[in-house]
Amino acid sequence: MPTKSQLKQLADQHGTPLFIVDHDVIRRNYAEFKRHLPRVQAYYAVKANPDPAIVGTLYAAGASFDVASMPEFMIVYEYVWQLPEKERQDWIWDKIIYANPIKSNETLADLDPYKPLVTYDNYEEIRKIARHAPHAGLALRIRVPNTGAMVELSSKFGAHSGEAVALIEAAHDAGLVVEGLSFHVGSQTTNVENYVQALQLCAGVFAEAKSRGFTLKLLDIGGGFPAPYHDGVTPFRKLAARIRPEIDRLFPRPLEILAEPGRFLIATAATLVAEVIGKAHRDGKPCYYINDGVYHTFSGIVFDHCCYHLEAFRRGPRQISAVFGPTCDALDTISLAEELPELRLGDLVYSRNIGAYSHASATSFNGFPPAKVVHINQ
Ligand SMILES: *Cc1c(COP(=O)(O)O)cnc(C)c1O
């Protein structure tokens, strides 16, 4: 992680707002994932941050990728398949899963030549896949409890486990092969029991499917692994220690186990440096306007239900302050209660652990371009 003086030096060199991605941290996070869940192949959820340089570092570390749109698919595909032949793999399932249960007909037709592995959770999708992507392999997404996740997803995706075998049979009748099951417990999940319950639910489906003549070969345990945003977050090591024996007990080898970590791999790898461009006094506290905000790198405040803390380079007694982004919208509020020293115009502030669902969901709203990206230790 870059030190304060490195942050300052990079900001002086490149200007602000600056989104600094530390590839040493990405490699460390990936290594930690593998150390605690050695049997699980990590398919990095590209939506957390689709920068091709990040894809490159994770690929070199041994990761595979979870994509959810054709542009995301192409980011990974173009990276991996432009490698020299001895470095790349031709079997795309080892490197890419298309984990969006809903795909347009056009997307399916575009995917079909690659013989992709795709998820589904309903009958309409089976008909679409059979027609437009008959060469795809399938993973059935199961609806699992999302209790306590920062981002809830169970109301949007997933088939009820009671319906699972009928959906496997329907795919089979349509000439498709269901390779396994997938689930996603929701993002930033600190309730480990969500994973345990999901594993048990899937073990039940595996057994029922087998009794009906369908042998499933893989289980995708999804993402949701929490990033250590603050001290209270369940450490990954603890979560892994709880689910590792459950996986081995319920899904013995040679069953293949996949996961789709996004946030866990990338959140702590990036730091944003921004500049104070305006200052006022309102509601009894100093208000600072900085040159990055909710429509840009801090978009996770809205889309990801995440809060980010700001720190200053300047020292001094701290007081509760408000911090706003540069646009004219009131939504562009980063915080109404940050503890900051008295800042001056031109001062820099920074926010750590902002790698996931930040730069990725930012657009060039109001004519302010997004932060320039600099990769260090790449
Ligand atoms: C978003 C998403 C992920 C990644 O979630 P994280 O919480 O960032 O790990 C994984 N799988 C699916 C299906 C997703 O939608």
Tell me the CA distances in angstroms from 35 to 28, 38, 253, one per residue in order: 10, 6, 18
Tell me the DSSP string of 154-223. Answer: TTTS-B-GGGHHHHHHHHHHTT-EEEEEE----EEE--HHHHHHHHHHHHHHHHHHHHTT----EEE---
% of the chain exceeding 90 in pLDDT: 88
Residue whose tokens read 């990206």 = 373
pLDDT in tens, 312-354: 999 999 999 999 999 999 999 999 999 999 999 999 999 999 9
Do 86 and 222 share a domain, yes or no? Answer: yes
User: How many angstroms separate the CA atoms of 371 and 239, rounded?
Assistant: 34
Q: Ligand 1 centre and the CA of 176: distance in Å?
A: 25
- The domain tally of the chain equals 2
CATH of residue 307's domain is: 2.40.37.10
Do 224 and 290 share a domain, yes or no? Answer: no
User: How many angstroms separate the CA atoms of 245 and 247, rounded?
Assistant: 5
The answer for residues whose C-beta is within 8 angstroms of residue 16's C-beta and 6 or more apart is 273, 274, 275, 291, 292, 348, 371
Q: Which of 250, 267, 284 represents a domain boundary (last residue)?
A: 267
Q: Which of 231, 248, 267 represents a domain boundary (last residue)?
A: 267
Which residue of 181, 182, 187 sits with most ligand 1 atoms within 8 Å of its CB, as the best mutation to test the pocket? 187
Evaluate: CB of 17 within 6 angstroms of ligand 1: no
Do 192 and 273 share a domain, yes or no? Answer: no
> 300 is in which domain, residue-wise?
4-18+268-376
Task: Grade residue 377 by pLDDT with cuts at 50, 70 and 90.
Answer: very high
Do 249 and 277 share a domain, yes or no? Answer: no
CATH of residue 106's domain is: 3.20.20.10
Do 227 and 342 share a domain, yes or no? Answer: no
Atom of ligand 1 nearest to the CA of 356: 8
Tell me which residues are annotated as active site: 328
Which residue of 26, 66, 264 sits with most ligand 1 atoms within 8 Å of its CB, as the best mutation to test the pocket? 66
Do 221 and 273 share a domain, yes or no? Answer: no
User: How many angstroms separate the CA atoms of 62 and 60, rounded?
Assistant: 5
pLDDT in tens, 163-203: 999 999 999 999 999 999 999 999 999 899 999 999 999 99
Q: Ligand 1 centre and the CA of 262: distance in Å?
A: 6
Do 252 and 272 share a domain, yes or no? Answer: no
Tell me the CA distances in angstroms from 4 to 23, 190, 291, 301, one per residue in order: 17, 30, 19, 24
Do 170 and 289 share a domain, yes or no? Answer: no
pLDDT in tens, 118-142: 999 999 999 999 999 999 999 999 9
Amino acid type, 310: L
Amino acid type, 221: I
Do 78 and 211 share a domain, yes or no? Answer: yes
Instruction: Pick the closest to residue 314 from 11, 8, 10 (CA basis).
Output: 8
Atom of ligand 1 nearest to the CA of 223: 9
Do 59 and 95 share a domain, yes or no? Answer: yes
Q: Which of 247, 267, 287 represents a domain boundary (last residue)?
A: 267
Evaluate: CB of 116 within 6 angstroms of ligand 1: no
Report whether pLDDT(361) > 90.
Answer: no
**DSSP class of 29:** H
Q: Ligand 1 centre and the CA of 186: distance in Å?
A: 7
Radius of gyration of the chain (CA): 22
pLDDT in tens, 194-223: 999 999 999 999 999 999 999 999 999 999
Evaluate: CB of 220 within 6 angstroms of ligand 1: no
Do 303 and 214 share a domain, yes or no? Answer: no
What per-residue confidence (pLDDT) applies to 367?
Answer: 67
Atom of ligand 1 nearest to the CA of 151: 7
Do 87 and 186 share a domain, yes or no? Answer: yes
Evaluate: CB of 50 within 6 angstroms of ligand 1: no
Q: Ligand 1 centre and the CA of 261: distance in Å?
A: 6
